[in-house]
């Protein structure tokens, strides 16, 4: 079994987000980048499925060389090898196109992604990869079993659960619950340094969208303190200012 796991390099969740160049670019100065958490659980599930020599896990990232520490982390967690498509990701289509072009040269049974990247939160790349490869796509998967030919996937839907059966090859975007997070151990960290990391130049394609501007949320207004026994004052404020009652 061959599994491809798509990994994105995203700002740490504690990052203070600022923009430069007239609010058209994310300011990466001093930002710590991490492996997208949803991709980490997709990777954990892939490793579980391949446990005991049942298959191999390749991770792929579309990014410049600054993403290599994140790729090495994925190798430390347990991926067998890695591919980096050497390009700055420009939009979801660009990313999906590069991954699909690489996947066409291989015979992957499963292509796993996170449900979304926690930076741009597009949730577009997985379905686009599937469309470009003309294979099925199942999104927001919380449980994934695979017998080598057919997979049974469980998805959470409004008020319930949906169980889907699909034959390989397919794309699945993974959400919390699909696996337990794996923490790299010392042996994994050491072996990650020598695991293969192939760098491929990007295939020529177009960029279908462009970010014109970013905006941060409006700052919160100051907190208004009221006396603990001033119930009327509280009700008045909830009615006239907060307008929630």
Ligand X SMILES: Cc1cc2nc3c(=O)[nH]c(=O)nc-3n(C[C@H](O)[C@H](O)[C@H](O)COP(=O)(O)OP(=O)(O)OC[C@H]3O[C@@H](n4cnc5c(N)ncnc54)[C@H](O)[C@@H]3O)c2cc1C
Which residues of this protein are in contact with ligand X, per CB under 6 A?
6-8, 36, 38-39, 60-63, 88-92, 95, 113-114, 116-117, 120-126, 209-211
Closer residue to ligand X in complex, CB, 150/207:
207
Is the Cβ of residue 81 or residue 234 nearer to ligand X in the bound state? Answer: 81
Residue nearest to ligand X (CB): 122
Smallest distance from the beta carbon of 237 to ligand X, in angstroms? 39
Nearest distance from residue 192's CB to ligand X, in Å? 18
Burial of residue 140 (number of CB atoms within 10 Å: 0-12, 13-18, 19+): buried
Nearer of residues 123 and 202 to ligand X, judged by Cβ = 123
- Torsion from C-alpha of 132, 165, 114, 59, nearest 10 degrees: -70
Task: Please name which of 36, 96, 29 lies closest in space to residue 70, comparing C-alpha atoms.
Answer: 36
Q: Rounded to the nearest whole angstrom, what is the least distance from the CB of residue 167 to ligand X in the complex? A: 22
Cβ closest to ligand X, residue 200 vs residue 240: 200
CB 113 within 8 A of CB 42: yes
Closer of 55 and 89 to ligand X (Cβ): 89
Task: Judge contact between 193 and 181, C-beta under 8 A.
Answer: no
Query: Closest CB to ligand X among 57 and 62?
Result: 62
CB of 235 to ligand X, least distance (A): 42
Provide, rounded to whole angstroms, the least separation between the CB of residue 83 and ligand X. 10
Task: Give me the least distance between CB of 105 and ligand X, in Å please.
Answer: 16
């Amino acid at each position: 079994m061959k599994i491809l796991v798509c990994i994105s390099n995203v700002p740490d969740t504690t990052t203070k987000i600022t923009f430069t160049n007239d609010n058209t670019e994310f300011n990466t100065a001093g930002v710590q980048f991490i492996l997208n958490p949803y991709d980490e659980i997709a990777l954990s599930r892939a490793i579980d499925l391949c446990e005991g020599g049942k298959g191999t896990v390749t991770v792929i990232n579309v990014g410049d060389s600054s993403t290599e520490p994140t790729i090495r982390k994925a190798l430390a967690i347990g991926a067998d090898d890695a591919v980096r498509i050497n390009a700055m990701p420009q939009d979801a289509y660009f990313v999906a196109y590069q991954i699909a072009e690489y996947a066409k040269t291989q015979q992957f049974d499963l292509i796993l992604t996170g449900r979304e990247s926690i930076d741009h939160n597009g949730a577009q790349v997985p379905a686009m990869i599937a469309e470009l490869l003309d294979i099925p796509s199942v999104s927001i998967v919380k449980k994934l079993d695979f017998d080598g030919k057919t997979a049974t996937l469980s998805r959470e839907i409004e008020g319930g659960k949906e169980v889907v059966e699909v034959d390989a090859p397919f794309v699945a975007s993974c959400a919390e619950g699909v696996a337990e997070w794996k923490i790299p151990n010392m042996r994994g960290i050491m072996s990650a340094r020598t695991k293969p990391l192939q760098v491929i130049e990007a295939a020529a394609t177009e960029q279908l969208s462009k970010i014109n501007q970013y905006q941060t949320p409006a700052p919160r207004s100051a907190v208004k303190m009221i006396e603990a026994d001033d119930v009327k004052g509280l009700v008045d404020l909830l009615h006239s200012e907060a307008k929630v009652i």
